[in-house]
Structures are given as structure tokens and as C-alpha cells.
Amino acid sequence: MAKSRRYYIDGNTVRVRETLPARREEEEILRVSVQPEQRPVRVRINVPYVLTLLVVTLLFGYLCFSYLKVNASINASMNRIASLEQQLVKARAENAVMENRLGAQMDLEEVFRIAVEEMGMVYPDENEVVEYTEQMREYVRQHENVPSS
């Protein structure tokens, strides 16, 4: 048998370590020979599970692609709307400028002078103005007969 030493403690450190007895090779041989042989593991493929997983994966991919396509379409529409809004703002600004320019060019006193002097227009007399009440309608017919008072 091999020499065996025991631990002993002197203070808080171990001064001498105990050596373990040497193992017998026979025990190791027995352990190795007792263990059964490991056979290769055969993996069985569950076909319905794999097909279901494949279908779910393809469906998920299609949904992701569709989402990206719709998102890109919405972004393109939003960009188009923003562009059209900018054009509208620009057109309104141009219209306001043109209206101011025309208002500045048109002299209402000159229009009154031409109407009175050249075309012979005058204000109506009291006898020429006929007031009448119309039934409640949302529109007026231009060529309708004036009711007698």
C-alpha cells in the first residue's frame, strides 16, 4: 500500500499535505470494461412538424414582405401629398399676388365714369325699384317672372 499522510493544522495554514493512495489500474480497467458501448443515436425527423414549421415560416415571410410593401406605398403617398400641398401653397401665394396686382391696376372711379358717361348708365329712381318677398328657396331662378305687388 502506498504511503499515506494526513493533514495537520498548525495555526491557520496547512503545512503538510496528505497524499492520496495510488489507484489501481485494475479498477480503471474494470470501470472501462463495465461501461456499455455507446451506439450512434438515430435522429427521427417528424415530417408533419417540419412541414408545419416551413409553412409558418413562409407565411411569416410573406406577411413581412407585404407589410414592407404597404409601408413603402404609404410613405410614397405621404410624400406625394406633401408635394401637392407645397404646390397648393405656392399657387395660392401666386393667386394672391395676381389679385393684388389686378386690384391695384383697376380704378373703380374710372369704371364708374365709363359706365355713366360712355354707356349712359344711371342710378334707378324710386319708381323703378320693386321689392317683393320670395318663398324660402335655396336657389334663385334667373329667368323667372317677377311677381306683381
For position 39, what pLDDT does the model report?
A: 78
Q: Does residue 117 belong to any structural domain of this protein?
A: yes
Mean pLDDT throughout 112-134?
84
Whether the Cβ atoms of residue 116 and residue 122 lie closer than 8 Å to each other? yes
Q: What is the pLDDT of residues 51-102, one digit of tens each?
A: 999 999 999 999 999 999 999 999 999 999 999 999 999 999 999 999 888 8
Q: Does residue 90 belong to any structural domain of this protein?
A: yes
Q: Does residue 6 belong to any structural domain of this protein?
A: no
Q: Does residue 24 belong to any structural domain of this protein?
A: no
CA dihedral defined by 73, 77, 79, 81, rounded to 10 degrees? 180
Q: Does residue 75 belong to any structural domain of this protein?
A: yes
Q: Does residue 106 belong to any structural domain of this protein?
A: yes
Q: Which of 6-15, 25-34, 63-72 has the highest mean pLDDT?
A: 63-72
Distance (Å, whole) CA 76 – CA 69: 11
Distance (Å, whole) CA 28 – CA 57: 51
Which residue segment(s) compose the domain that 105 sits in?
A: 46-122
Q: Does residue 142 belong to any structural domain of this protein?
A: no
**What is the total count of domains within the chain?**
1
Q: Does residue 35 belong to any structural domain of this protein?
A: no
* More confident of the two residues 54 and 106: 54
